[in-house]
Chains A and B, each alone.
Chain A
Amino acid sequence: MKYAYYPGCSLECSSVAYEMSVQAVAEALDLTLAELDDWNCCGATEYFSQDELTACAVIARNLSLVEPDVDQLVASCAACFLNLKKTDHLMGEHPELGAKVNEALAAGGLSYQAGTVNVRHLLDVIYTDVGEGPIREKIVRPLTNLRVAPYYGCQVVRPYTDFDDPEYPVKLDELFRWLGADVVEYPVKTHCCGGHMTQISEPQAFELIRRLLQSAVDREADMILCMCPMCQLNLDAYQRAVNGYFKTEFNMPIVFFTQMVGIALGIASDRLGFGKEIVSAEPVILEKLGPKALEPVA
């Protein structure tokens, strides 16, 4: 299965563990992710809040770079996924906007026709295109006894709901049940992590982060699984600050879902980016999955 792939900026720096594990898992699942040549930033949440036309033009440039023989573009970052999807959608809904965007693209000798590229999140591709059977066949290290809290956040399932329920999604839950994990019912699975609120008003952001951590602790989860660099950063990097602010003692590992898929597929932890997280996931993985759980399975 061949896909165009858009990694996004976060995956090259703060979330390099995500990118490493995406690549390792894609290889193990026979997914060909062909990185777009000369892709540019999706503008994150900032561009859209400043100027829609500019934001769309910047994002549509990436859509226009997809090779004509490929019709699927995969993103693993939640914000990139949403921005690419939204731009394709807006250009289709508002032809006059599409025309203006194409005017801008023409300056660089590019063009994009709305609807020609199907933008998909990596979870959707793994869940739907690879599917339960082939994934189960490839499990060499079932995640038995590992209690995981599946955290979806906002942008992957809202507002575009092609592949899961927007209010109470379950596909990440199901994927980890296939992998043998003990998936906890995580009632705040779509609640906001605070996004960039940490930069604006820490008390508000810390409260949102605290709720997510507390809910995972209440359900005795060993770790929270993320599929968004922003969510992972907020929950992991601000955990100590949250503890200081609320006098709590959270010590919850926050990992990208692909990292744990990789463990189940027997990939070595150093190829999956483990060790880059601030609250180390290694002790709990070793405790629950055995002393060799971070080593490759031959």
Chain B
Amino acid sequence: MISGRVWKFGDHINTDLIIPGRYLDDYSPKNLAAHVMEDADPDFPQKVRAGDVIVAGRNFGCGSSREQAPLALKYAGISAVVAGSFARIFYRNAINVGLPVMVCPEAFAKVEVGDELHIDMERGEIEVFGKGTKLAFKPLPDFLVRILNEGGLVAYTRKRLR
């Protein structure tokens, strides 16, 4: 179960907004977390707290293949991204670095900034705490859940190689 406070972003949040190219020469967690989402909301790196959840519209993570995008969100403490849809490379990268992502087109309209979400990955259910709202999403395929449960593709592959 994932629980967290909601931040909202709209449609087509691209990887340059998530982490701009000008910061990519340094892939340390500290540098990436310090600039996460700053071109979409300059105060976001200061406001975000460990465990927070992002709820967004269509095509989240479009653009570059930079894995620093989901890494920056993860390093900043984001515990899950719920979006109407995801660009394919971002979606893969998020699973691979151990950042849970779920596709739920109705979430954006039904969730408000500051709401607390309880997300049940196995059942495919999002509960807006204290409001009685329940939203369904399609649970991830089993093998992606296995990668996430291992904490990402690094740990998953390490086990396989052993």
- Chains A and B form a bound pair: no
